[in-house]
Structure 1
Amino acid sequence: MTLDRHFVHRVEHSTIQSRYPRTVGRNARLGSHGNGGVDDVVILHTDTGKTGWGLAAGPVPEEVVGRSVGELIDPATGVTEPGLRGLDFALHDLAGQILDLPVHALLGGRGSTTIPIYDGAIYFADLDDAGGVDAVLAHCAADDAAGYRAFKLKIGRGNRWMDRAAGDARDIEVTRAVRAAYPKHRILVDANDGYDCDGFIEYLEAVADCDLYWVEEPFLDDADDLARLKKHLQGSQTLIAEGESNPDLEPLLEIAANGDIDVLLMDVVSFGLTSWREVMPRIACQASPHAWGLPLKTLYAAQLAAGLGNVPTVEGVPGTTDGVDTSAYRWADGNLTVPDRPGFGLTLA
């Protein structure tokens, strides 16, 4: 049965509650990230009894009622109109439900269905706990026990929260302490644009033996600075990851084409599945959609990775989502396996 034979009968609005296993603290730019939050979801019901749901990725148009699903989404490319981007995830889920296909198959099935996941929740615990660096190590230990085998460390304490020199020294201390405690884990670092190029290169020189997997958003996007950083990393396996913060896409694609960005990070939800489907054939590097904020976004990014390929790892958001059955996603030893269930394989209670 084609999508054209199913018509949207009702648009339902709801919310989901995400919960982190602990309070997530500060990064280089922002204060405490709290314990979770409430986010909007949209549920689409058809006249044939099919249902699809997902995070609202923008304004949700009500005028889709009465239109066929085939008018709203092309399984080969995504939503058919810019005004439908708020329904990106709900429509992909609905199309999968109707066609009896997982989203990763709709996206092309070009990647592995088992994807390495890194822990994105290692923030500035040392600044909020008298234990200092040991507080960061305690969070790493908790997430290691939960199955993570890669940590992304927030750095850039000297941008806002500490004296510049003292903050940079603490970044170095934390990086070296985590590497010493976890010699076999991948370590990534994310400065949230909290350095300048000179300062970041000094940081890299101080942790040169820590075998960083990637460096993320080290400073405000600048083609010359990124070229300089890439030259400094010559001979190293460390990747440069960019594009999360207010991405100006065309300049980023040009910098990546020059070889000075290795991984593009546009957010899985705010950038969207349809946009990722459009841009992935154009990029001259790898991709790993930003997923921080909601555990659900990690599952979306994993579906994207399995569908579009060219994604070496996905950001993990430790935590749970009330009222959502995620049990079809299998988690073991740092890897997430996406299900072959229709749509995203997620059920709302």
Structure 2
Amino acid sequence: MKIGRIETFLVPPRWLFVRVETDDGAFGWGEASLEGHAEAVEGAFEAFRDRFAGFDPFRIEDIWQVGYRSGFYRGGPVFMSALSGLDQALWDLKGRALGLPAWELLGGRVRDRIRAYAWIGGDRPGEIGAAAKARAAQGFSAVKMNATAELDWLGTPKLLEDVVARVEAAQAEGMDVGLDFHGRVHRPMAKQLAKLLEPLGLLFIEEPLLSENHEGLIQIAQLVSTPIALGERLYSRWDFKRFFEIGAVDIIQPDLSHAGGLSECRRIAAMAEAFDIAVAPHCPLGPLALAACLQLAATTPNVAIQEMSLGIHYNTGGHDLLNFVVNKGVLSPVDGHLPIPTGPGLGVEIDEAAVRDADKDRHRWRNPVWRTRDGSFAEW
């Protein structure tokens, strides 16, 4: 059995699927979605096609090491997203070929289901109470919402009070709330907002500052007891290592489509466990990314909760999480939890014909560019 071809597909609303097929017809699916940069990730697969044609697909770790190290330049969102999608597809292929779930190949289950949370509020949060009530009706007990829209470096007390009011509206519907600062809040306001929110008992505050501002993150961690989460913009165990060492994070959020796939995120989670840090994988993406996350949850004791994109505000134009999935029940929440898939590989059956058809009209998704009231650039 040798790798025969590696295909990529741009499918709506903003995803990049990967399909690896062997010379004897075995296949596996993965997801290399990098929001707003699908074309760049797809370009990285040219080198992978040249390098891995004829390789034994069962040698997943060897392929990962060669893929990561052999090109001399390493890391970063584009390259690591491509490697992530390839890695996911290889685990799916191997599991399918052997008739076993990927989690069985990784040592077996530590749990049968994982708590999930859904998004409310969109990029510019509003109508939070009604949105939280709708999620409760779906069986969720936890939600995540953006704290604010675009912000100036300095803001008014009224703006901060509005954030508190929105959180309280979601909590009034019985929801546990994780609040995503989204890297939009700069240090002068982030300290104030984190302190103001502390009495509300949030699940976590996410990216209170951008990851590159680790000095400020240390200060916020020392200022409040609210758990601090981050990691969607970190791409390898080496990126995460600094945050484990400085003690500025309580929950890490590696994205299995950005941070080296199932193989690397399992290593990252094991490192986190040694520091008594929880894992809540980032996944506002598609079904294959979520299926890979569930394989990680199945085998990893410190995975605490799982993000999912069902009904997220990015899924527009009639395109949602389960569009290309044949066995939709595998990724459908039950009582606020996602079951661990029991099917072979990643456990998800993809409608290949629908994917190939969607790829004919390739998406060009881009995130918005925001500006503050004075016309200067604002973080999205």
Which residue type is aligned with residue 334 of structure 1?
G
Counterpart contact for 2:234–2:240, Cα < 8 Å: no
1:49 counterpart (25, 37, 41): 25
- Distance in 2, Cα, partners of 1:279 & 1:320: 26
TM-score normalised to the size of structure 2? Answer: 0.72
SS, match of residue 323 in structure 1 = coil
Which residue type is aligned with residue 345 of structure 2?
G
Which residue type is aligned with residue 339 of structure 1?
P
- Offset at residue 199 of structure 1 (A): 2.6
Is residue 2:211 matched to residue 1:210?
no
Instruction: Using the aligned pairs only, state the percent identity.
Output: 25
TM-score normalised to the size of structure 1? Answer: 0.78
C-alpha spacing 1:109/1:198, structure 2 compared with 1 (3 Å): farther
Counterpart contact for 1:288–1:314, Cα < 8 Å: yes
Q: Which residue of 1 aligns with 2:370?
A: none
Segment drifting more, 215-224 vs 292-301:
292-301
C-alpha spacing 1:153/1:13, structure 2 compared with 1 (3 Å): closer
Which residue type is aligned with residue 82 of structure 1?
G
- Offset at residue 151 of structure 1 (A): 1.0
Q: Which residue of 2 aligns with 1:81?
A: 66
- Distance in 2, Cα, partners of 1:161 & 1:146: 37
Is residue 2:11 matched to residue 1:16?
yes
Aligned-residue CA RMSD in angstroms?
2.9
Which residue type is aligned with residue 48 of structure 1?
D
Q: Which residue of 2 aligns with 1:62?
A: 49
* Within-5 A mapping of 1:193-342: 193-221=183-211, 222-234=213-225, 238-246=226-234, 250=238, 252-271=240-259, 272-283=261-272, 284=275, 285-318=277-310, 319-325=320-326, 326-329=328-331, 331-342=333-344
Which residue type is aligned with residue 200 of structure 1?
A
Counterpart contact for 2:331–2:338, Cα < 8 Å: yes
SS, match of residue 118 in structure 1 = strand
- Offset at residue 288 of structure 1 (A): 1.9
- Offset at residue 310 of structure 1 (A): 1.4
Which structure dedicates a bigger proportion of its chain to strand? 1
Provide structure 1 residue ranges, at least 5 long, that are not aligned to the other structure.
1-5, 18-36, 127-132
- Distance in 2, Cα, partners of 1:122 & 1:295: 22
User: 1:49-106 CA distances to partner (integer Å, 9 max, x unpaired)?
Assistant: 32211224643222333332234x14xx873422682511111100111222212223
SS, match of residue 228 in structure 2 = strand
- Distance in 1, Cα, partners of 2:120 & 2:286: 11
Provide structure 2 residue ranges, at least 5 long, that are not aligned to the other structure.
34-40, 69-81, 311-319, 352-380
C-alpha spacing 1:48/1:249, structure 2 compared with 1 (3 Å): closer
SS, match of residue 328 in structure 1 = helix
SS, match of residue 306 in structure 1 = helix
SS, match of residue 181 in structure 1 = coil
- Distance in 1, Cα, partners of 2:24 & 2:7: 16
SS, match of residue 189 in structure 1 = strand
C-alpha spacing 1:43/1:296, structure 2 compared with 1 (3 Å): closer
C-alpha spacing 1:39/1:205, structure 2 compared with 1 (3 Å): closer
Counterpart contact for 2:235–2:258, Cα < 8 Å: no
1:39 counterpart (4, 12, 15): 15
SS, match of residue 245 in structure 1 = coil
User: 1:290-338 CA distances to partner (integer Å, 9 max, x unpaired)?
Assistant: 1123354333222212123311111121133323223234521110012
- Distance in 2, Cα, partners of 1:118 & 1:169: 24
Which residue type is aligned with residue 255 of structure 1?
F
